[in-house]
Amino acid sequence: MGKRPTDWRKRFGGAKPPHVVMLHTDFAGVRAGNTMLISSPGDIANYLSRIPRGETRTIERLRNELARKAGAQAMCPVTTAIYLRVVAEVALRDLEEGKPIDQVTPFWRVVTPDSKVAKKLSCSPDHVAHLMALDNAPSASS
């Protein structure tokens, strides 16, 4: 296996800025003629960070809310899944390196243990469930 491990931080920082495109053909469930937001890992991380502690959102809600905010009719489901994974992997690396849970992007508020994205992460879906449980637990500061 000569494949090098992915540098998730590099992928996070190297993504194009969010932009809206007009679809000329149907794509991933979005109809031709619709405007579609291609977001960024940074925008998705900001969205995740604004979800209140202990709450979750669906990927569909994330896509709808970010698309509406950008003035688009839809958000690309393909790049959304890719960028959610990038954000999650950066957060997992931060946790591995000792960053406190309240200082990492709370990807588990959208990436639930049973999601397709969770199955692709470098951690197990059980670990995602553990992070969700920690997020729901009363903090020492409250």
Each residue's pLDDT tens digit, 18-40: 999 999 999 999 999 999 999 99
pLDDT given for residue 141 in this prediction: 46
pLDDT given for residue 142 in this prediction: 42
Tally of CB atoms within 10 A around 50: 10
- Cα–Cα distance for residue pair 141/119, rounded to 1 Å: 32
131-to-33, 96, 136, 142 alpha-carbon distances in Å: 40, 13, 9, 18
Residue 84 pLDDT grade (very low, low, confident, very high; cuts 50, 70, 90) = very high
Higher pLDDT, 6 or 61: 61
- Residue 19 dihedral angles phi and psi, to the nearest 5°: -155, 155
What angle (nearest 5°) sits at the alpha carbon of residue 27, between those of residues 23 and 28? 140
Place of tokens 């992007």: 105
pLDDT given for residue 137 in this prediction: 81
